């Protein structure tokens, strides 16, 4: 897979906000917080044009019950996908557009790791 880096696009913020609303509607009260992470979250930074989400939920197991709803809005539901305690979704089967990382609120090590990387950028 080739990695393409592009100039910063202000539209990434709007794309994040729009998709965050759709994800919150699916997760409902289980959703505690949605963060824009990754290189597209950093103003004026060239980035691979994939919007990355960190979603913090009350109960991770409830997310599994929503697989069909995520798939209806274009996501591929990947389960833990190699990281215990995470739920991973991706959108765009040919040209990837979104990555979603979902963790339960008490998985602080992984949550802080994602936020620290964003903040470092």
Mean pLDDT, rounded, for 81-102: 95
- pLDDT of 93 reads 82
pTM, 2 dp: 0.95
Structure-token match 């997310």, residue found: 63
- Predicted confidence at residue 1, as pLDDT, reads 62
Give the percent of the chain with pLDDT over 90: 93
Report the C-alpha gap between 53 and 20 in whole angstroms: 8
Residue 94: predicted pLDDT: 84
For residue 72, pLDDT beyond 80: yes
Percent of the chain with pLDDT over 70: 99
Tokens of 51: 């919007």
Measured distance CA(29)–CA(32) in Å, rounded: 7
pLDDT digits (tens, 9 = 90+) for 25-55: 999 999 999 999 999 999 999 999 999 999 9
Contact between residue 84 and residue 78 where contact means Cβ atoms under 8 Å apart: no
């Amino acid at each position: 897979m080739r990695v393409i880096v592009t100039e910063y696009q202000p539209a990434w913020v709007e794309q994040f906000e729009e998709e965050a609303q759709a994800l919150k509607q699916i997760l409902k009260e289980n959703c505690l917080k949605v963060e824009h992470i990754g290189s597209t979250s950093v103003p004026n930074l060239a980035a691979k044009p994939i919007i990355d989400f960190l979603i913090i939920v009350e109960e991770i197991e409830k997310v599994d019950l929503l697989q069909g709803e995520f798939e209806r809005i274009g996501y591929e539901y990947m389960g833990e996908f190699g990281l215990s305690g995470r739920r991973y979704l991706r959108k765009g089967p040919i040209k990837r557009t979104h990555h979603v990382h979902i963790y339960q609120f008490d998985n602080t090590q992984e949550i802080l790791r994602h936020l620290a990387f964003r903040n470092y950028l």
